[in-house]
Amino acid sequence: MIKIVKYILLDILRNKIVLAYTIFLFAITFCVFSLEDNAEKGLLTLLNLILFIVPLVSIIFSTIYIYNSSEFIELLVSQPIKRKSIWLSLFTGLAGALSLAFIIGAGIPLLIYVRSVTGLMMIVNGVLISVIFASLAMVAAVRTRDKAKGIGFSILLWLFFSLVYDGLVLFLLFQFSDYPLEKAMIIISALNPIDLGRILILLKMDVSALMGYTGAVFKEFYGTEKGLFVSFSVMILWILLPLLYSLRKFNRKDL
Amino acid sequence: MKKASWILCCGILYSTTLNAKTIKVGPHQEIADITTGLQKLSNGDTLIAEGGTYHEKNLVVDKSIVLIGINHPVLDGENKYENISVKADWVTVDGFTINNSGISSTVDYAGLKIYNRHNVTIRNNIFNDCFFGIYSQNCTNCTIKNNQLSAHQVQEQRSGNGIHCWKCDTMQIIGNTISGHRDGIYFEFVTHSIIWRNLSNGNLRYGLHFMFSSHDTYAVNIFENNGAGVSVMFSNHVHMFHNSFRENWGDGSYGLLLKEISDSYIDGNIFERNTSGIFMEGGSRIEMYKNTFRGNGWALKIQASCMDIKLKNNNFLGNTFDVGTNGSLVLNTFDYNYWDKYEGYDLNKDKIGDVPYRPVSMYSMIVEKNPPAMMLFHSLITTLLDKSEKVIPSLTPENLKDNHPLMKPLQL
């Protein structure tokens, strides 16, 4: 399995797109911090960029890569290797490469400019979100043989998590505005990895004071060690559940 | 004749000063404590205290005398007594260090308390760890100048106000530094007074707390990093000029909280890095010119209960939200302000934008109506909503707009 992971990782790293993605992240992060004299403002700008670009690139690149290596997968399946280890090494390779790209591209400038818990939180969340969306890409890719359909589905997934979900939340908030929803919001925020990542980072910043009572409720939960443990467990679940689902599908799939 | 009477006047004054006694007290003098010294004095005399520590318990000044401390002699209240009680008019207390007044939840102990007097001057003193610092009740025309007050209590109940004025008139609070008290400066029922060039920072509750006080001016003060900022309530004819309200950051913290204020002027102030620069409720006939709002969460929260507020020539720079409000009724005017978020154009180059600016964003309206929506703070959808609302306003108040937004920030 390690051999396959190594091969896939090298193949992805040789791919120009990941290299371009790394440089792009690096350039943007550096630009943001050198344009803004205030590190906190830079972090806010970066937060919006990371929550927008990282999931998009992760999910689309992973989906396309899996489709492109379908012949390679077929070749491996004909060998005496378990399907499980093929699929998992494919995921490990993708997640590893994307995380590496994020750590080099955004992590290094972040560590240079913001040596604080907030910066660290941003790096951890960025990596987690990269991995989560790679895992979601596995689901998108395993569902159909049609490449166009697969990519379409992965774009839909991204759109759902970054936009539609928040729209639905807003709709629900207004429908149930007569009820105290602060506590419910904690659960709702955990159901979307992008929201969860955003709130975890925001709570570490000064701007969290603007969030008023809702922010205080969030802080009371996510600010504690238990809350942090729960939220990272939820993130790990977001990686594992789609991955296991796609693995099940892949095991039974007629290639 | 007029000249002659003038000379006579001067002559009388001169002769009275000649008659006035001066007594020195101190560890190396004949008289070692101030209380004994005071007994030997009559109105108009001067007592000079040399450096050292005095345990006077409660020093009652009941004659019109001048008390001068050389090298800041220490009056220690031993956490039990009120250090100085001023119970005469025309008293001056100059250059003392006043430490450790009593702390009580039933008696308002103070480092120095003025009881129902006029023309008292308190200047150049240092107050350390007093419950109340300088407490004046029912006083007229007193000057509190160049004092330094600091306390280090953590709980609000164990801490009094730095400069506390209750039911006073024509007070002058000038050049004092106050930190670590409950409220830096506290005004209740105080009229025709001025608060000028004070620095109030790191107080537990408010930097300045101002209630039922009309016809007052506060100018060129700095209020910084106080628990809840500055609050001005239930007053009219208040003038606030060239003050700085800075770094009041946290839940329920405001740069300036205005409640039920009318006929007032707020000019030339700087509001920097506060959660809310100004929070205004129930205000009327307030004119705000040439203020700068920089880096606040909300620059201005103006509730729909306010009317006839005029905002003109203010700078709004780098605030998360410019203006927040809670209703669609707008009885206030915004004109000729500079907004850094303005995206309009200026075809005729008169430095005034051709399209109106709407300072209330869609998202800030949503949050006002539905606070849990703060969960979506800084998310993609709120940015998109704000953009679309800018094009076709629907939820934001129709009339809350600046018809003449400036293209360039004012030099203030």
Write out chain B's pLDDT in tens, 412 residues. 566 666 655 555 555 555 788 999 988 888 888 999 999 999 999 999 998 999 988 999 999 999 999 999 999 999 999 999 999 999 999 999 999 999 988 888 999 999 999 999 999 999 999 999 999 999 999 999 999 999 998 888 889 999 999 999 999 999 999 999 999 999 999 999 999 999 999 999 999 999 999 999 999 999 999 988 899 999 999 999 999 999 988 878 899 999 999 999 999 999 999 999 999 999 999 999 999 999 898 999 999 999 999 999 999 998 889 998 888 888 999 999 999 989 889 999 999 999 999 898 888 888 888 888 888 888 888 888 888 887 777 778 888 899 999 999 999 8
Top residue of B273, B379, B387, B389 to mutate, by most chain A CBs within 10 Å, is: B379
Q: What element of type H or E holds A190?
A: helix A182-190
* Cα–Cα–Cα angle for B348, B351, B353, rounded to 5 degrees: 75
Among the listed residues B392, B263, B396, the one whose alpha carbon sits nearest the alpha carbon of residue B326 = B396
Query: How distant is the Cα of A3 from the closest Cα of chain B, in angstroms?
Result: 40
Same domain? B254 vs B335: yes
Q: Considering the domain boundaries, does residue B317 fall inside one?
A: yes
Q: Count CB pairs under 8 A between chains A and B.
A: 80
Q: Considering the domain boundaries, does residue B335 fall inside one?
A: yes
- Interchain CB distance below 8 Å, A209 and B372: no
Residues 6+ apart with CB under 8 A from B291: B266, B267, B268, B269, B270, B271, B314, B315, B412
Residue A122 has pLDDT above 60, yes or no: yes
Name the residue of chain B whose CA is nearest to A175's CA. Answer: B370
Residue A253 has pLDDT above 90, yes or no: no
Same domain? B315 vs B412: yes
Answer with the residue of higher pLDDT: A1 or B326. Answer: B326
Same domain? B241 vs B317: yes
Query: How many domains is chain B partitioned into structurally?
Result: 2
Among the listed residues B87, B182, B171, the one whose alpha carbon sits nearest the alpha carbon of residue B130 = B182
CA–CA distance, B310 with B264 (Å, rounded to integer):
11
Tally of residues, chain B: 412
Same domain? B355 vs B369: no
Q: Considering the domain boundaries, does residue B111 fall inside one?
A: no
Find out whether B90 and B120 touch, Cβ atoms under 8 Å. yes
pLDDT at position B114, please? 96
Q: Considering the domain boundaries, does residue B208 fall inside one?
A: no
| pTM score | 0.84
Find out whether B256 and B233 touch, Cβ atoms under 8 Å. no
- Give the burial string for B307-337 (b: 16+ CB within 10 Å, else e): eebebbbbbbbebbbbbbbeeeebebebebb
- Give the burial string for B282-303 (b: 16+ CB within 10 Å, else e): ebbbbebbbbbbbbbbbbbbbb
Residues 6+ apart with CB under 8 A from A244: none
Q: Considering the domain boundaries, does residue B10 fall inside one?
A: no
pLDDT at position A212, please? 76
Q: Find residue B188's DSSP bridge partners.
A: B166, B211
Same domain? B261 vs B355: yes
Residues on chain B touching A198 (C-beta within 8 angstroms): 378-379
CA–CA distance, A3 with A7 (Å, rounded to integer):
6
Name the residue of chain A whose CA is nearest to B377's CA. Answer: A211
Same domain? B302 vs B409: yes
Among the listed residues B231, B306, B238, B222, the one whose alpha carbon sits nearest the alpha carbon of residue B272 = B222
pLDDT at position A113, please? 87
Q: Considering the domain boundaries, does residue B389 fall inside one?
A: yes
Q: Does B298 touch chain A (CB under 8 A)?
A: yes
Q: Considering the domain boundaries, does residue B246 fall inside one?
A: yes
Query: How distant is the Cα of A2 from the closest Cα of chain B, in angstroms?
Result: 39
Q: Does B320 touch chain A (CB under 8 A)?
A: yes
- Residue A73's SS3 state is helix
Tokens (6 digits) for A197: 């990542």
Ramachandran bin of A180, using left for φ above 0, alpha for ψ from -120 to 50, beta for the remaining angles: beta
Find out whether B239 and B220 touch, Cβ atoms under 8 Å. no
Tokens (6 digits) for A216: 């205080």
pLDDT at position B13, please? 54
Same domain? B367 vs B319: no
Burial label for B348, CB within 10 Å (0-12, 13-18, 19+), is: exposed
Same domain? B330 vs B373: no
Residues 6+ apart with CB under 8 A from B30: none
Find out whether A48 and A120 touch, Cβ atoms under 8 Å. no
- Which of A202-206, A210-214, A219-223 is predicted least confidently? A210-214
pLDDT at position A2, please? 84
Residues on chain A touching B275 (C-beta within 8 angstroms): 209-210
CA–CA distance, A17 with A209 (Å, rounded to integer):
39
Find out whether B386 and B359 touch, Cβ atoms under 8 Å. no
pLDDT at position B12, please? 54
B241 phi, psi to nearest 5 deg: -125, 135
- Residue B256's SS3 state is strand
pLDDT at position B18, please? 57
Q: Considering the domain boundaries, does residue B297 fall inside one?
A: yes
Same domain? B262 vs B371: no
Q: Find residue B333's DSSP bridge partners.
A: B310
* Cα–Cα–Cα angle for B167, B171, B175, rounded to 5 degrees: 130
Supply the mean pLDDT for chain A.
90
Same domain? B321 vs B248: yes
Burial label for B411, CB within 10 Å (0-12, 13-18, 19+), is: exposed
Tokens (6 digits) for B34: 């101030």
Scan for tokens 């919001």, then name that residue. A185
Write out the residue range of the structural domain in which residue B392 sits.
Answer: 361-396
Q: Does B374 touch chain A (CB under 8 A)?
A: yes
Same domain? B236 vs B336: yes
Q: Does B249 touch chain A (CB under 8 A)?
A: yes
Q: Does B378 touch chain A (CB under 8 A)?
A: yes
pLDDT digits (tens, 9 = 90+) for A73-118: 999 999 998 999 999 999 999 999 999 999 999 999 999 888 888 8
Q: Does B388 touch chain A (CB under 8 A)?
A: no
Residues on chain B touching A195 (C-beta within 8 angstroms): 375-376, 379
Same domain? B314 vs B368: no
DSSP annotation of B79:
T
Cβ-based interface (< 8 Å): residues of A facing B = 38, 41, 44, 47-48, 51-52, 162-163, 166-167, 169-170, 173-174, 177, 181-182, 185, 188-189, 194-195, 198-199, 202, 206-207, 209-216, 218
- Interchain CB distance below 8 Å, A209 and B249: yes
